[in-house]
Amino acid sequence: MSSETKQIRSALFQLSFPFMGKIVCGLPLFATFFCVLWSVLFDFEKSTATHCRVNNYLPSISAAIGGFTPQRYVWRICIAFHAAPRLMIAWAYYNFHTSVHAGKHNELYKAGAALTSLCHVVEVTALVGLTYISSLDNHGLHETLFIVFMASSLVYMLLTILLFYWGRSRNGSFLTLEESRSFSWKQRLFLTNISIFLFSVYVFFRHNWYCEPGDGSGPIYQFSWAFHI
């Protein structure tokens, strides 16, 4: 029996990376739907209240995840289990990008990989921050962390697309079928995400300027967060 076989048999359990990735991504998604649904069912009036006293149809994300219990506890627990693996994934992606040599511009390519990983870490850190500092605790800081979260996530997605194509098409190389499929999905997801984000910004300012009923309800915010995470 080989030493490798012995090590495999001595392991208590094994988790494949794709399976772990699904769990990690599913935690915030589950928490989002739980918090919104629970707020609608049990805290509807309070969670949909606005500064200009107009009717909303759904609570905002900030109100749903940080304003009431048990929603706040569920959200924080899920993000706690979500954040640590995300930081490990940031390191794994850095190794993935730097596993290829980009020719004469390799140093610039490696610097781009480091910047991409930094944006990934900043995104996760901001997510943890806005999770544990609710808008009720410190509205200004919560808002700032949300802006940092969205900005770093969009920059991270854009840099990932650029690095993926640059590294995999270096020196006249061509993307494999699997890499082409992955690259295509990355482009679609980025374009969809930034479109939703821009529309969310429009709805947010329209609500604050005109106080129209339903503008602050946040279906687009829920989809944006769930889609991004």
Angle between helices 139-168 and 177-210 (to 10 degrees): 160
> What tokens appear for 122 in the block?
């900043």
3-state SS class at 67:
coil
Q: Please give the residue that has the higher pLDDT: either 93 or 60.
A: 93
Asked whether the predicted pLDDT for residue 222 surpasses 70, the reply is: no
In a domain, 37, yes or no: yes
Cα-only R_g, the chain:
21
Residue 54, pLDDT score? 67
3 falls within a domain? no
204 CB neighbour count, 10 Å cutoff: 16
**Helix 71-97 and helix 139-168, axial crossing angle in degrees, nearest 10:** 30
Distances (CA, A) of 210 to 55, 135, 165, 204, 220: 13, 22, 43, 10, 18
pLDDT at 21: 77
Q: In the predicted model, is pLDDT for residue 223 greater than 70? A: no
Residue 123's pLDDT band (cuts 50, 70, 90): very high
The answer as to whether 89 is a domain residue is: yes
pLDDT in tens, 29-38: 899 899 989 9
Q: What total of structural domains would you count in the chain?
A: 1
Q: Please, what's the b/e burial string for 179-189 (b: 16 or more CB within 10 A of its CB; e: otherwise)?
A: beeebeebeee
Token output for 14 = 């094994």
Q: What is the C-alpha to C-alpha distance for residues 181 and 174, in angstroms, rounded to an integer?
A: 13
- Residue at 221 is within a domain: yes
The per-residue pLDDT for range 79-96, each reduced to its tens digit, is: 999 998 889 888 988 998
Residue 157 lies in a domain: yes
Assess whether pLDDT exceeds 80 at residue 78: yes
Measured at the CA of 110, the angle between CA 107 and CA 116, to 5 degrees, comes to 145
Tell me how far apart the alpha carbons of residues 71 and 134 are, in angstroms, rounded to a whole number. Answer: 12
User: Which domain covers residue 82, as residue numbers?
Assistant: 15-228
- Please indicate, yes or no, if residue 21 is contained in any of the structural domains: yes
pLDDT at 133 over 60: yes
Q: Is residue 5 part of a domain?
A: no
Quickly state the pLDDT bin for 55 (edges 50, 70, 90): low
Q: Is residue 199 part of a domain?
A: yes
